[in-house]
Chains A and B, each alone.
Chain A
C-alpha cells in the first residue's frame, strides 16, 4: 500500500509517521506538501501531529484551508482511508470530516505520557487486527485533546459504533472517555493518541503497529475484490 503523509507548516510528527509506515510496517510512504492538490496513486492518507499554522485561532482551524485539504475531502468521500493523529484529528474535525471538536484539556496541562486505551470497535479497517475490547498502551502528547460533542452527536457515535478507542483512565476530560472516532462510513479515523510512536520495542512498545497492519490487510483485500 502507498500512503501519503501530509506535511503542513508546523507538522512535527510527519517523520514519525513516515518511519512507522516505511520502516516498521514495510509499506510505501511519501511526503505530500500542503500546497499540493493531488492524491492520485495513494491508497491511504495520514495527517500527522504537530502544531499546524501555529495552532492559530483554534487547533486545525487554518490547516483545513490548505490546498491539499480539498483533495483529502474528495479522497475521503470516495471511501478511501484517511487517518488523522493528534493535530491530524483536530484538522479532521475542523474540516468537518469527523463530528465534534477538541478543546483544552480539563487539567489545562499539556499531557505527554503513555496511556491505556480500550479498543471499543475492532470491526473497522483501522482496528481489525486488535481483539475486541483489547487494552493497548499508546503515547499521548497534547494540550487540546478534550473531545466534545453534543448529546445528539454522542448518541449517533454510539449507535453507529463510531467510537474506535476510549481511554481507560481519562487524561483530558473527553466526553465518554473518547480517544478516537471514525466517520459513519468507517473510512476516516481521528485519534489523539499516537499509534505511530508505538511501533518498535526500542521506543517502548508495538501496540500501535496493529492499526497499520489492519489497514494493510484491508487494503490488500480491497484490491483483490476490485480486480
Chain B
C-alpha cells in the first residue's frame, strides 16, 4: 500500500480570511514577525501500490481540490504491511 498525503490550500491570489483572523490572534498574543498565515487542509489516502501519480492528480482535480480557488501538492510514502 501507499500513503498519499495531499495538502490543499487557497491559491495565493485569493484572500484567506481565516488565515488573516488567525494571524491577528498570533499578533495579539505577542508573537512578533508573523508575516502571513494561510490555512488549508490535509487529506490522507491509503491506496493500492499500482496507483500512479497521474491517478492521484486526477483524484485531486476531479474531487479533492477545486482548482478554481485551491492549489495542492502531495507526498507519497510506501507503507509496508506486516
**Interface residues, chain A, CB within 8 Å of chain B?**
57-58, 61, 93-94, 100-101, 103-108, 148-150, 173
Contacts and interface: CB of A to CB of B under 8 A. Distances in A.
Secondary structure call for the A interface: loop
Contacts, number: 30
B19 to A, nearest CB: 10
Identify whether the interface residues of B are mostly helix, strand, loop, or mixed: mixed
Given A104-B17, A105-B17, A108-B18, A61 B69 contact: no
Nearest to A107: B17
Contacts of A148: 14, 68-69
A104 B38 CA distance: 13
B17 A57 contact: no
Q: How large is the interface on B (under 10, 10 to 19, 20 to 34, 35 or more residues)?
A: 10 to 19
Nearest to A62: B63
B64 interface: yes
A103 B11 CA distance: 12
Contacts of A100: 68
By CB atoms of chain B within 10 A, which of A93, A94, A101 has the most?
A101
A128 B10 CA distance: 37
Interface in B15-50: 15, 17-18, 21
Interface centre among B15, B18, B21, B64 (most CB of A within 10 A): B15
Given A57-B63, A61-B63, A103-B10, A150 B17 contact: no
A84 B64 CA distance: 22
A2 B80 CA distance: 57
Given A103-B14, A148-B14, A108 B69 contact: no
A148 to B, nearest CB: 6
Contacts of B17: 104-108, 173
A103 B69 contact: yes
